[in-house]
Structure 1
Amino acid sequence: MALNIQDLMKQLRNWNNGSRNIAKEGWDTLSRLPRGKYIYSYLIGRYAPYTGSIKAVIEELSTGHSEVVLKDTPNLRNHLQSIHAVALANLAELTGNIALSYSMPADARFIVSKMELEYVKKARGTVTGVCDCPVPTSNAKKTYLVPVRIVNDAGEVVCKATLHSLVGPKK
């Protein structure tokens, strides 16, 4: 039986009814399998197609923490031959969102209401988004500041971001 991605995505949306944390369950299951991190990252990109457009790979994910890798490719570059600012913003949002999503109670959801970005230096080569975020303990309506830093292979910070994420109950 062939895997139908559209049907799988529909099932994921239906399962996300407030009783399960699909981001956490998916990672905890897939990340242990061969190529599981790539499969998980691909599915996240299908769930949120704009996020998937940069083809980043989630390498580490745990409560309050994520690391997401983005390879420098020609289609992500600007006129200065560095990674485009919007691609870095997309990486920052994915990195913060996946850490927060993994960490939330099953009956909570969130939306980013504001992003602050500081581009520190040109981003070239593979970059990694790193997030250590606060961990919501309930679905009470509250805004969390989710910090993300993006570093290059030399460990230099190329971008700093803060996501203002409004957490609340699933309907």
Structure 2
Amino acid sequence: MSQLYDLWKSFNRVPVVGKRAFSVAFAKKAPYFGSIHPLVNQLRPNYAEVIVPNRRGNHNHIGTVHAIALCNGLEMAMGALAEVTIPRDKRWIPKGMTVSYTAKASTDITCIAETDQEQWDTADGDLAVRVKGIREDGTVAIEGQINLWVTPKKK
């Protein structure tokens, strides 16, 4: 398992506070993530959830969660997933993101990133991570994919 996954498991020995503390620590690694005040809600190989809160600082001009705040949450979920899933002999970097906004983001949004282990085991170049953001009522507000470039680590 990865160091990040070990850290996640140790933080989660303390309910609620552990998730918040992990989220703050993770956002410090890539400080821009902190701008949306995210909460890493679930993390395991091939799956991650990050909650982007419906707060004024994340709003657009119509009072819903801004599209870029949602993309930031999707990218954070993808990055966490990649770190806890990628085989130790490989490395990754984001290559691009394609999303569709399918409904107003009028509540907290749970940003989900998912892959299948076979993708990582056979990856040599492009790898597509499925992403979506779901409102509290179950409506998908944003969906798409984040493309990664996965290569062997240099020896």
TM-score after normalising by structure 2 = 0.89
- The share of aligned pairs that are identical, in percent, is 27
Is the Cα contact below 8 Å between 1:65 and 1:132 reproduced in 2? Answer: yes
Corresponding residue number in structure 1 for 2:136: 153
Match of 1:75 in 2: 57
Q: Where do residues 18-97 of structure 1 align in structure 2 (5 Å cutoff)?
A: 21-34=2-15, 35-97=17-79
Q: Give the counterpart letter for 1:95 in structure 2.
A: A
Mark the structure with the bigger radius of gyration: 1
User: Deviations along 1:18-59, whole A, 9 cap, x unmatched?
Assistant: xx7222221122122241111111111000001121111111
Match for residue 164 of structure 1 among 144, 147, 154: 147
Mapped to 2, the partners of 1:85 and 1:67 lie a distance apart of 17
Question: Size of the alignment, in residue pairs?
Answer: 151
- RMSD of aligned residue pairs (Cα, Å): 1.7
Q: Look up the equivalent residue of 1:162 and give its one-letter code.
A: Q
TM-score (norm 1): 0.81
Aligned partners of 1:99 and 1:131 also within 8 Å: yes
On the 8 A contact 1:56/1:91 being kept in 2, the answer is: yes
Structure 2 CA distance for aligned equivalents of residues 162 and 105 of structure 1: 21
Structure 1: 5+ residue runs without aligned partners?
1-19
Distance 1:147 1:131 in 2: 6
1:137 maps to a residue whose letter is D
Partners of 1:52 and 1:104 in 2: how far apart? Answer: 24
